[in-house]
Structure 1
């Protein structure tokens, strides 16, 4: 760049609206910490919200359709220009999408003050509009390989609708909405993770002249995905039909073999890579625990759910958000101590929450897990917030695949 960073900042005062990851990752980090803090406060102090959802359902809804959906939006709106060669969604259209997401959070929070239909319509607008935007960009860019990407967004919109229909008293199977949403998110993580984790690891190992590299995607990888996805979809729709538990266990085993081929131990010196391998390992642990919970009474379903949410989703989202934030703002793709601490806190939060199935210490572990989670995402907002709102810096030793 010809101009200095200060001159660049003056010329681009609204850098946050230049590409999707900037506003959505910042909102995701802040809302993840704030929403969980609010839920813990409701439990500890008996507080209530002016929401039509009860506290637990509101917590589930806002983690899935607030926090996670914001991360997905930021990732897709940033990745699609790379896939299609088109200019990113920016400026007023991007600001309108962010405002639509924010409107959903507000209406869900104060839904007792407005008609339920209006609250649902405002909240549902974001996933369906985002789905339309993503589909349009992929179609216009003729990027047929990624034409499947709008599908999880459409499923998330339908899942959100099911939660509102259940709230309104319609004959909807209990919990179908959030189970379907969690399934769509895990499917997306397994597909995208299967692309980026071995790819980033391979590029880093090449720079280190490593003798062995992660192999290309093969038939066993496809079988691992199909099995995992079938098990998750089966559980979401038919949670009481036990054969899906065996399918989940098989999917977990195949994906464990898949993860082992990605050479994660060889890249353990770089936390930006280690966190992605760890996040995918949580997918495997969660699927295995979910399978066992469907087959026996020895593992509660809550432990499996939180391995998939606090573990897989929490770890993978922070891994992706930190990496994208660094790489796409012209910074070196290497973690500092604060970033490593962010990863450590979220991993410990997941371990504590999964371990809370022991009734003798569950309350304490839930509080510890919440504190660690809030600390991790709060630290992300503090450390990466200034990066997300500032203009791109002069590239310094940028290594996109590291």
Structure 2
């Protein structure tokens, strides 16, 4: 216990997002390097039930993706519900449980039946612990305005449990990874609805300051300032569309019904973009990055839909726009925005952020292009993997240094920056 307490006393465990966001960036690089080794030389992927493609999909969704989700909710929900932050021991215990789940799944093929059971217990246990930690705070919050996070986490927990149940029964478990993709897309919409309110309105404020002579262009006819609002009806419709498609594809995979519902989900996500057309402020660094997430998500469902309706392209083209694109870019944005500000640093304005964001968008587009007929599949997959490694490699280097450092301001916990602007 003394050793664990000394470990927990390090700056890395000051807040739950710090170890999880660092794990997200590092693990994103590790998983893709292993996968590239498999694609290039046919080796390196652990022997797990279901084979190498199951390992790849599982670890990106339930390893990489859930690390980011856990770091965000364990840090943001105490702030949203005006309750005390989770302590250092919680941060250490949860990240160790997540790491144990990764180790157990990697070794499940080697350990046999005992390894499969251990992997199931640890991975389902991690999601159970996450729900148990946040559920009371969300439920007791007056009017329960953030309860959507709880339903999203419960749904993700069911996807993890379903995957492990199929593995234990000897069934091919990929269908549950696809359920996890749908849940992750819904969670991204929920999270970005809150993050974008701050980012886009800050961009609008900066635009007004820089161009006061053009300020009337940012006003309505009644001369009120036009602010950005993430309107719940549009976002809720998009989440509903994603849920319908996910359920249909689970029941009738690749069917015409799921194809039309995928197109409906794409249309609903495009409808969300109507809130975003705020003028030149949209082209600021952070707003544009979040805007790109919606485009990647909508195009992903659109490609899935047309593939199911008979277009000559692989369904994986759209799927990878969702995972490599919407998930990869949104998680990177959250690491940069929430990670730095809650560690006591101002937003990073150095060029590496743009390089990494462009690399991740390029990774998504290249991986999607490999599903189109007549294009060089192997080259595009290699390009996609290399671009992803570049993007998250930069994140691991530049953000890792932030997460392992003490706060540079007067803050003592997870609050946002308390000192004057200008920290790089």
| TM-score computed with the length of structure 1 as normaliser | 0.89
Is 1:46 the equivalent of 2:60? no
Matches for 1:357-368 after TM superposition, within 5 Å: 357-358=371-372, 359-368=374-383
Distance apart, 1:275 and its partner CA: 0.8
- Structure 2 residue runs of 5 or longer lacking an equivalent are 1-7, 209-217, 220-225, 410-417
- Counterparts of 1:321 and 1:239 in 2: how far apart (Å)? 33
Structure 1 CA distance for aligned equivalents of residues 330 and 45 of structure 2: 30
* Aligned counterpart, 1:85: 82
Match of 1:153 in 2: 153
Q: Which residues in structure 2 correspond to 1:132-151 (within 5 Å)?
A: 132-142=132-142, 144-151=144-151
Describe how 1:1-400 pairs up with structure 2 within 5 A: 14-53=10-49, 54-114=51-111, 115=114, 116-142=116-142, 144-170=144-170, 175-209=174-208, 210-211=218-219, 212-215=226-229, 217=231, 219-263=233-277, 266-358=280-372, 359-394=374-409, 395-398=418-421
- Report the CA distance between 1:216 and its aligned residue: 5.3
- In structure 1, the gaps of 5 or more residues are 1-11
* Deviation at residue 235 of structure 1 after TM alignment: 2.2
CA shift, 1:45, in A, is: 1.8
C-alpha root-mean-square deviation of aligned residues, in Å? Answer: 2.3
1:9 aligned partner = none
**Contact 2:17–2:74 (CA<8 Å) still a contact in 1?**
yes
Q: 1:244 to 1:49 in 2, by over 3 A?
A: closer
Q: Tell me by how many angstroms 1:217 deviates.
A: 1.4
Deviations 1:126-148 (A, max 9, x none): 11211111212323445611123
In the superposition, the TM-score normalised over structure 2's length comes to 0.85
Q: Distance in 1 between matches of 2:279 and 2:315?
A: 30
Give me the whole-angstrom Cα distance separating, in 1, the residues matched to 2:267 and 2:403. Answer: 38
Q: Secondary structure at the match of 1:87?
A: coil
Q: Distance in 1 between matches of 2:305 and 2:47?
A: 33
Determine helix, strand or coil for the equivalent of 2:276. Answer: coil
Tell me the distance in 1 between the aligned counterparts of 2:245 and 2:279: 28
Task: Name the SS of the counterpart of 2:148 in structure 1.
Answer: coil
Instruction: Answer yes or no: is the 8 Å Cα contact 2:138–2:150 preserved in 1.
Output: no
CA distance in 1, matches of 2:232, 2:152: 23
* 1:67-102, Cα deviation, whole Å (9 max, x unpaired): 000000011111112111111112112100010000
Tell me if structure 1 keeps the 8 A contact 2:315–2:371. no
Which one is further off, 135-144 or 34-43?
Answer: 135-144
Instruction: Flag the 1:29–1:276 CA change in 2: closer, same or farther, 3 A.
Output: same
Deviates more, 1:350-359 or 1:374-383: 350-359
The 3 A distance-change label for structure 1 pair 356 and 185 is: same
Q: How many residues align?
A: 387
| 8 Å CA contact retained: 2:34, 2:44 | no
Cα gap change, 1:219 to 1:142, in 2 (>3 Å):
closer
- With over 3 angstroms needed to count, the CA separation of the structure-2 counterparts of 1:260 and 1:336, relative to structure 1, is farther
